Amino acid sequence: MLFRVPARTAWQAAPKLTQLSRVTTRAPQWVRRYATPSMEQQDRTAIVTGSSRGIGKAIALRLARDGYDICVNDVQANQAGCEEVVKEIKGIGRNAFPFTADVSNRQEVQKMVEASVNELGPLNTMVANAGIAQVKPLLDLTEEDMKRMFEVNVYGLYNCYSTAAKQLIKQGNGGKILGAASIVAFKAFPFLAHYSASKWAVRGLTQAFAMDLATHKITVNAYAPGIVGTAMWDLIDEEVGKMTGHKKGETIKKYSGELIALGRTSVPEDVSSTVSFLCSPDSDYMTGQTIVIDGGIVFT
């Protein structure tokens, strides 16, 4: 049956209906609460693994300039480098201490997190930066090659993510967890098959942790450097050159010239600037992302 409403009746009811809709459709006012203290606060702490040199060192120094106190970590063989980074951080005016640990050993990671909390105070940020690379043709890889690559780059990252997460949940104030991926997490490189696979795993773990930890107000993201002027890329350049007949320095020069849109090899500070953003309140609404910093090799 068709009902007709007189125009006058509808006009008289309109103000009431409008008023009612304003009440029922009001958006909830969400309050943002994350454990990223402001620049003015003096109690921000971070653990940066693999930070005796290269990208890790640049990250540790940048976060110190951003107002963080830092636990500087690397393996025992790089202890001298850790102590030098600690000295530089203290020169900036922040607190720091060295802690040697192999991230592939969960007990050592647990002791590192405990030591950081005891030495610097509650943990705010974990940067799982430590990693290894190996240049080798795919069919020449041994079981030990695969095992060690995943022990450090995948299990080591998992140990850092999970141990830091438990500490942050215990503290109850949220926080930030970051991991080192790579452009090979998006497109594998020749002679870097197992390294590439390990970095794809980093992306997957980062997404999984982001989903599981979101209810605890913990964000989890990764950064993916490209061709960086570090000891790791010096090794890749040299080893790939042996297989392709290029002299030392020619491979990285070729890659930089042909692959990088911006036309230059990056430096560790290019990466640490992005990590600084991911550790700041400006990225509080980002989680589960892997951010590429490669000068324009991989476009996502």
Which of 68, 158, 161, 195 is the catalytic position? 195
68 strand-pairing partners = 44
**Euclidean distance between CA atoms 19 and 239, whole angstroms:** 73
Concerning whether 285 is annotated as a catalytic residue, the answer is: no
For 196, phi then psi, to 5°, come to: -60, -45
**DSSP code per residue over 184-237:** GGTS--TT-HHHHHHHHHHHHHHHHHHHHHGGGTEEEEEEEE-SBSSHHHHHHH
Q: Tell me the chain's radius of gyration from C-alpha atoms.
A: 24
| Calpha distance 35→192 (Å, rounded) | 37
The strand ranges marked E within the chain are 44-48, 68-74, 96-100, 125-128, 175-180, 218-225, 290-293
Give the residue numbers marked as catalytic: 195
